[in-house]
Amino acid sequence: MNAIVGHDPNFFLEFLAAWEKRPMCLAPMAYGWCSAISEAGLGRERLTLRIQAQDLDSYDLKKIEEAFTSVGPACDPFRMDEVSHCAHRRPRLPHTSYTGLFSILLEVGFRLVMPSHGQPAIHLDHTPHHKLVFKRTLSSDDDEVIADGVCVWVADRDHMPAGSCVHYLAKRVAENRPFSPRLRQMSIWLIERMWRSRLEVSGLGAIRLLNRLNISMDDIKYEGEWIQLLMDVILSPAGLKSLSIHYWHLLEQLLLIGLSLPKQHVTDAMELVWLLEEPEDWEKLEIWMVLLWQYRGYRADTDHLECLDHLKQATLKHLLRQPSALPMFEGLAESGIDMCVALRRVCARARAEQSSLEPLLL
């Protein structure tokens, strides 16, 4: 604490950022420093720090680099029983701007943090000034700085800031260049945390972020949670209209590996057929009906007879409107699915009715 307010905080922060085995306790400390700087400098464009050197030329680069690479058991007051190896790096320009200060502080606290289900919670004190921290870092041009900001948002899983930080990422989502691996992982974790925390994950901003991430099965660890998340998004007005077709296929993959729809969505799955018929969204409708025919959650038993009857009617109606889809459904009926007999009858009726209409079409 004495060093951060002393004569040369830049050297101190660079030293911490270079420390590969810095302790986790630096995360809440670094975030606390960000909040303090936000409060102290609120309303000013720049925060002037007292530093010994007036510009980079006055730094003794050789001595600084030697100090960065000399850390070991003899000079490791935080972990006396371990050797901490610091990366060989040159100091950057003095961090006199808000963005520069926030960037280096969040790098110190969160660059080495990778949120996971098994990680102990990092307790952060979100002061009223945290919005300035996120505004500055999440609008950066550096993906690693943005990833640090997202990490701050999701790291304290029990006390995430109110609202959503997705709108801060709008500029980055709109760019064509791919996300860095760490920013992509942090953004996926952000979507998961938003959904688990019952925050708005079906808004247009979150859906655009999902579309940009193009999440695949390889990115998903907890498949059952993603089924619920995707169903919630798809059933929302914005999701039904704007969610990429990629996620319909992803949901299909998740359900076809033997997982089940959440109970509250079993009826919704059938209602979704009607919602897709009205705008004549044939591609999504076909994906969804093929999925329902293969899905083991719909069986010809007393609990699902009504759903099965609706599915048969909807499929017949679709096949009469889209005759080109008939061969695909006939192939599905011969693939050994549980409801193959019922689907064969629907396909046979659709082909018979098509044949009766052919002379009229001529």
DSSP per position, 256-312: HTT----GGGHHHHHHHHHHHHTTT-HHHHHHHHHHHHH-TTS-SSTTTHHHHHHHH
Give the C-alpha distances (Å, rounded to integers) separating 212 from 56, 230, 318, 327. Answer: 39, 15, 31, 34
| 353, 317 Cβ separation under 8 angstroms | no
Considering the domain boundaries, does residue 125 fall inside one? no
User: Hey, how many other C-beta atoms are within 10 angstroms of the C-beta on 278?
Assistant: 7
Give the C-alpha distances (Å, rounded to integers) separating 6 from 9, 38, 64, 119, 169. Answer: 6, 18, 17, 34, 35
Considering the domain boundaries, does residue 295 fall inside one? yes
pLDDT value of position 326: 93
- Residue 329, CB-side half-sphere exposure with 13 Å CA sphere: 35
Q: What is the mean pLDDT of the chain?
A: 76
Q: What is the pLDDT of residues 131-146, one digit of tens each?
A: 888 888 888 899 999 9
251 burial type by CB count under 10 A (0-12 exposed, 13-18 middle, 19+ buried): buried
Considering the domain boundaries, does residue 185 fall inside one? no
**What is the C-alpha separation between 137 and 145, in angstroms, rounded?**
6
What b/e readout covers 211-225, taking b as 16+ CB neighbours within 10 angstroms? bbbebeeeebeeeee
**What is the number of domains present in the chain?**
1
- Least confidently predicted of 110-119, 261-270, 295-304, 310-319: 295-304
Task: Look at residue 199 and tell me whether its pLDDT is greater than 60.
Answer: no
Considering the domain boundaries, does residue 311 fall inside one? yes
Range of the domain at 271: 262-362
Q: What is the pLDDT of residues 220-273, one digit of tens each?
A: 988 888 988 998 898 888 888 899 999 999 998 888 876 677 766 767 777 888
Considering the domain boundaries, does residue 184 fall inside one? no
**Size (the chain), residues:** 362
Task: Look at residue 184 and tell me whether its pLDDT is greater than 90.
Answer: yes
**Nearest CA-CA partner of 165 in 143, 190, 141:** 190
Q: What is the model's pTM?
A: 0.76
pLDDT value of position 71: 43
Quote the percentage of the chain above a pLDDT of 90: 21
Considering the domain boundaries, does residue 167 fall inside one? no
Considering the domain boundaries, does residue 362 fall inside one? yes
What are all long-range contacts of 100-105, with beta carbons under 8 Å and residues at least 24 apart? 101/34, 101/37, 101/47, 102/34, 102/37, 102/133, 102/136, 102/137, 103/137, 103/140, 103/142, 103/145, 103/148, 104/13, 104/14, 104/17, 105/13, 105/30, 105/31, 105/33, 105/34, 105/37
CA 357 from chain center: how many Å?
Answer: 49
Considering the domain boundaries, does residue 120 fall inside one? no
* 3-state secondary structure labels for all residues of 194-227: HHHCCCCCCCHHHHHHHHHHCCCHHHCCCHHHHH
pLDDT band at 358 (very low <50, low <70, confident <90, very high): low
79 φ, ψ (degrees, to nearest 5): -135, 85
* 3-state secondary structure labels for all residues of 20-49: CCCCCCHHHHHHHHHHHHHHHCCCCCECCC
Residue keyed to tokens 């999902």: 210
Q: What is the pLDDT of residues 207-218, one digit of tens each?
A: 999 999 999 999
pLDDT band at 124 (very low <50, low <70, confident <90, very high): confident
**What is the C-alpha separation between 284 and 290, in angstroms, rounded?**
10
| 73, 80 Cβ separation under 8 angstroms | yes
DSSP state of 54: S
193 φ, ψ (degrees, to nearest 5): -65, -40
